[in-house]
């Protein structure tokens, strides 16, 4: 019983702390998400928007066709990451309304689009 | 032609499954031996028909029969043989065909080998297995027919997704499905016991054997998938807490709980209701896993091709099967009350705590996996639950389990002594503590939990060795295969824990942009980027980056990280360069070339200490499970003496009838 109560409490507390909300660029602008919050954004990589700094940081734009947000990411992009493809970027919201991504997810399945774009 | 035979076999399998179900259940109800015999034969025929259907599907893929929609969508004439073969189950329809095949094979195995079970109990289990066959064969035939033809045959196929073209992944689904669907047998046995209103130790043994066999296959399946993800996805990680992975972890955890408690049912007659409940839950979770993977309700990095109507089909089957079984459980379970008492500190008590911890762990994975789905349905918010959640919930629940693991086997039945058990493996206590202190001194106290968990891994390993040593020295009879199997599996868990801890706490990651000739130091290795070269193969082009590595002890070796472009699918993948060793893997990924500087390349370097222990541990667990199956005492056909609790049970039921 004690064990059950402890694990329920543990799960509840952990859910409170460790979930990440998912937004489209439009939702991100509407909901006034505070700077520094950890979020996931999903959308399509804008054609011709990928470029790179000399230190390897990649910058690109993610759009849901009504709003666009810029994303900076240092690291290796996953397979199937490309311009015109669906993408999910996870990271913290920077001061200028851009996202500092820690993780980029692209879909294994080439037919994939984020749900809200279908 | 081949496809027509396959479709015919599949279509015939449906009425045969109906016959298997009807004849077995009705025959058992009426004590009609002939009907039960018909049910057994139908089970064998069902297995043969589905094996034929699946063989036809494989032949269609191997011979690149482009009149079939499925072959066109998932194969290509220029693909290597192995991947044509693997493509037959690397898609929705094919994998469900495999699912149904394993279901029928499990039924066939019960029909042939189940002689030690009471005939009516076996007939009922076969009937339930047949009913599952009806549901899933129907689903396959009407909602995801693998033999669907195109109006006009295509000239060539679209190919298999290149990231899936990997030997480990080619054989990963069959193992996974043997594990998932193998759990249908414990389920059928549990429901049969509820219908029958009684169990025997032969039943408990079957429950244990089938669960162990499924669990071993599931262990191999999960480990292969994780090994593939480690090498292929280029993130240097082995587990991503992805919904699809979680879906396979949940039945794996419950299966562990189930075969531990089946031992108690067999030997002591305790935990009867609980084992039946677990068997129902285990298969329900296996079906839930299929639903999550195949319906695409969850956004997953694995994200298979999805179709909502199919999801609803599977969900309906899931609700019917699990709901029905649980209803039956609530109505009938009271007939299977335990009559065995034990003290909290005893081997039974240890298994009870093991079961509770595993179930709580499974519940935390369940909540973490389905919470996003529930929240989105309720208020439309989209969230993701990632590694931080599971590290906070699942990991703390598993640590006490690891502490208990070496203690359980040295506790006595009914009434044991914790102090006595600790004394028997006191060496493990000492070495475990030394390992904690050692890692603290060597690695620093940065993650305290890591030293603690590492110490627990050592404690498990040394504890298992102590048990083996004492067992060999004692005057008891020579230990059987099941003792060795248990020890191997327990040691495997310890080895796995060491690997997981070392990888999660002490791996090093660096991202650098290098020009040819540049070099850097990672974890004691000096790495120089030499040059790049282009190559091509049957179905891809590749850019290879050559890196020369000098290790701390003067050894020099080359690593070639690769980026491939598959023209058939217009996709690119990275092939990580990995230098494997027991001490750790040096892992290099070549990035996509987004940089303006034409010569520079972005690399990601990882040093993953002891990471190979993860798969070594999983292999030990699977081999241990296999050893337990080989124990002569568990041969299903062996006639057996009735155990004490069984004759008591019989007296009880006679009284009840009077």
- B393 at interface of A, judged by CB pairs closer than 8 A: yes
- B389 with A14: Cβ contact below 8 A: yes
CA B313 → CA B93, B185, B307, B368, distances in Å?
14, 22, 10, 24
Strand pairing category for A68-74 and A57-63? antiparallel
- A23 with B382: Cβ contact below 8 A: yes
For residues B204-216, give the mean pLDDT: 94
CB B592 within 8 A of CB A76: yes
Chain A residues with CB under 8 Å of B360 CB are: 3-4, 7
CA-nearest residue of chain B to A18? Answer: B389
**Is B299 a residue whose pLDDT tops 60?**
no
pLDDT in tens, B447-494: 888 899 999 999 999 999 999 988 888 866 778 888 999 999 999 999
- A107 with B591: Cβ contact below 8 A: no
- Token pair for B609: 């200490």
- A18 with B513: Cβ contact below 8 A: no
CB proximity under 8 Å: B 147-176 to A: 161-164
**Is B304 a residue whose pLDDT tops 50?**
no
Instruction: Please state the domain extents for chain A.
Output: 20-117
Give the highest mean pLDDT range of A42-56, B460-474, B570-584: B460-474
- Token pair for B233: 């996805």
Chain A residues with CB under 8 Å of B172 CB are: none
User: In chain A, what's the furthest Cα-to-Cα distance?
Assistant: 58
For residues B396-422, give the mean pLDDT: 88
Higher pLDDT, B232 or B571: B232
Distance in Å, alpha carbon of A63 to nearest chain B alpha carbon: 18
Task: Write the DSSP string, B349-389.
Answer: HHHHHHHHHHHHHHHHHHHHHHHHHHHHHHH--EEEE-HHH
- B352 at interface of A, judged by CB pairs closer than 8 A: no
How many whole angstroms separate alpha carbon B550 and alpha carbon B577? 15
Distance in Å, alpha carbon of A10 to nearest chain B alpha carbon: 6
Burial class (CB in 10 A: 0-12, 13-18, 19+), A117: middle
For residues B534-557, give the mean pLDDT: 86
**Is B636 a residue whose pLDDT tops 50?**
no
CB proximity under 8 Å: B 364-383 to A: 364, 367-368, 371-372, 381-383
Chain B residues with CB under 8 Å of A19 CB are: 371-372, 383-385, 389
How many whole angstroms separate alpha carbon B331 and alpha carbon B324? 11
For residues B36-46, give the mean pLDDT: 95
- pLDDT of B471 reads 87
**Is B600 a residue whose pLDDT tops 50?**
yes
Output phi, psi for B234, to 5 deg. Answer: 70, 25
CA-nearest residue of chain A to B158? Answer: A110
- A56 at interface of B, judged by CB pairs closer than 8 A: yes
Tell which residue, A98, A48, A104, has the closest CA to residue A76. A104
Helices (H), B233-307: 243-268, 272-295
Chain B residues with CB under 8 Å of A111 CB are: 305
Superfamily of domain A20-117 in the CATH hierarchy: Nucleic acid-binding proteins (2.40.50.140)
Distance in Å, alpha carbon of B338 to nearest chain A alpha carbon: 20
For residue B415, name the pLDDT band (cuts at 50, 70, 90): confident
Chain A residues with CB under 8 Å of B569 CB are: 110
How many whole angstroms separate alpha carbon A35 and alpha carbon A23? 14
Tell which residue, B585, B561, B565, has the closest CA to residue B575. B561
């Amino acid at each position: 019983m004690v064990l059950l109560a402890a694990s329920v409490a543990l799960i509840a507390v952990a859910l409170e702390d460790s979930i990440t909300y998912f937004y489209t660029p439009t939702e991100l602008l509407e909901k006034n998400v505070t700077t520094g919050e950890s979020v996931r954004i999903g959308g399509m990589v804008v054609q011709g928007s990928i470029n790179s700094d000399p230190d390897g940081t990649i910058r690109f734009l993610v759009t849901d066709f009504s709003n666009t947000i810029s994303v900076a990411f240092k690291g290796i992009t996953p397979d199937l990451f490309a311009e015109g493809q669906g993408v999910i970027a996870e990271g913290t919201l920077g001061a200028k309304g851009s996202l500092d991504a820690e993780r980029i997810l692209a879909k294994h399945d080439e037919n994939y689009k984020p749900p809200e774009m279908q | 032609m081949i496809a027509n035979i396959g479709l015919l076999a599949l279509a015939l399998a449906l009425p045969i499954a109906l016959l298997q179900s009807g004849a077995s259940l009705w025959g058992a109800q009426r004590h009609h031996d002939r009907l039960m015999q018909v049910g057994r034969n139908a089970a064998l025929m069902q297995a043969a028909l589905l094996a034929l259907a699946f063989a036809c599907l494989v032949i269609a893929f191997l011979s690149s029969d482009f009149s079939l929609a499925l072959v066109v969508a998932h194969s290509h004439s220029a693909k290597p043989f192995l991947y044509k073969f693997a493509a037959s189950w690397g898609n929705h329809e094919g994998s469900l065909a495999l699912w149904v095949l394993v279901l029928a094979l499990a039924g066939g195995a019960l029909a042939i080998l189940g002689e030690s079970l009471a005939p009516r109990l076996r007939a009922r289990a076969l009937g339930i297995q047949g009913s599952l066959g009806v549901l899933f064969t129907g689903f396959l035939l009407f909602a995801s027919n693998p033999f669907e033809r195109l109006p006009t045959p295509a000239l060539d196929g679209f190919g298999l997704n290149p990231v899936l073209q990997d030997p480990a992944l080619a054989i990963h689904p069959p193992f996974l499905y043997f594990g998932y669907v193998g759990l249908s047998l414990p389920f059928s046995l549990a429901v049969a016991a509820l219908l029958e209103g009684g169990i025997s130790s032969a039943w408990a043994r079957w429950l244990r054997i089938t669960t162990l066999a499924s669990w071993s296959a599931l262990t191999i399946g999960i480990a292969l998938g994780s090994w593939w993800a480690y090498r292929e996805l280029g993130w240097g990680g082995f587990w991503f807490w992805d919904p699809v992975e979680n879906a396979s972890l949940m039945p794996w955890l419950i299966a562990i709980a189930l075969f531990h408690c089946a031992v108690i049912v067999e030997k002591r007659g305790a935990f009867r209701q609980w084992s039946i409940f677990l068997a129902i839950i285990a298969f329900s979770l296996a079906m839930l896993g299929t639903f999550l993977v195949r319906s695409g309700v969850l956004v997953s990095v694995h994200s298979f091709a999805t179709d909502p109507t199919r999801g609803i089909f599977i969900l309906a089957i899931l609700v019917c099967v699990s709901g029905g079984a649980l209803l039956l459980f609530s109505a009938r379970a009271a007939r299977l009350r335990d009559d065995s008492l034990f003290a909290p500190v005893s081997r039974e008590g240890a298994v009870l705590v093991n079961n509770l911890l595993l179930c709580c762990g499974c519940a935390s994975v369940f909540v973490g996996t389905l919470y996003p789905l529930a929240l989105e349905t309720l208020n439309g918010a989209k969230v993701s639950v990632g590694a931080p959640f599971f590290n906070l919930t699942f990991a703390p629940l598993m640590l006490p389990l690891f502490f208990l693991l070496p203690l359980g086997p040295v506790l006595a039945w009914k009434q044991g002594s914790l102090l006595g058990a600790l004394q028997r493996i006191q060496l493990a206590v000492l070495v475990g503590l030394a390992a904690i202190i050692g890692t603290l001194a060597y690695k620093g106290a940065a993650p305290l939990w890591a030293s603690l968990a590492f110490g627990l891994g050592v404690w498990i390993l040394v504890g298992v060795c102590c048990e083996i040593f004492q067992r060999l020295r004692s005057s008891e009879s020579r230990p059987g295969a099941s003792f060795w199997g248990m020890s191997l599996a327990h040691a495997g868990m310890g080895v796995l824990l060491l690997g997981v801890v070392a990888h999660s706490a002490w791996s090093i990651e660096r991202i650098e942009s290098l020009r040819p000739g540049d070099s850097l130091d990672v974890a004691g290795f000096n790495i120089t980027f030499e040059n790049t070269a282009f190559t091509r193969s049957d179905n891809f082009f590749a850019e290879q980056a050559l890196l020369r590595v000098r290790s701390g002890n003067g050894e020099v070796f080359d690593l070639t990280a690769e980026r491939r472009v598959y023209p058939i699918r217009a996709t690119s993948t990275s092939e990580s360069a990995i230098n494997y060793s027991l001490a750790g893997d040096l892992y290099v990924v070549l990035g996509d070339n987004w940089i303006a500087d034409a010569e520079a390349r972005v690399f990601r370097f990882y040093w993953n200490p002891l990471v190979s222990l993860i798969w070594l541990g999983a292999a030990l667990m699977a081999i241990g499970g296999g050893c337990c199956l080989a124990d002569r005492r568990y041969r299903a056909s062996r006639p057996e003496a009735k155990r004490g609790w069984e004759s008591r049970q019989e007296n009880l039921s006679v009284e009840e009838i009077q």
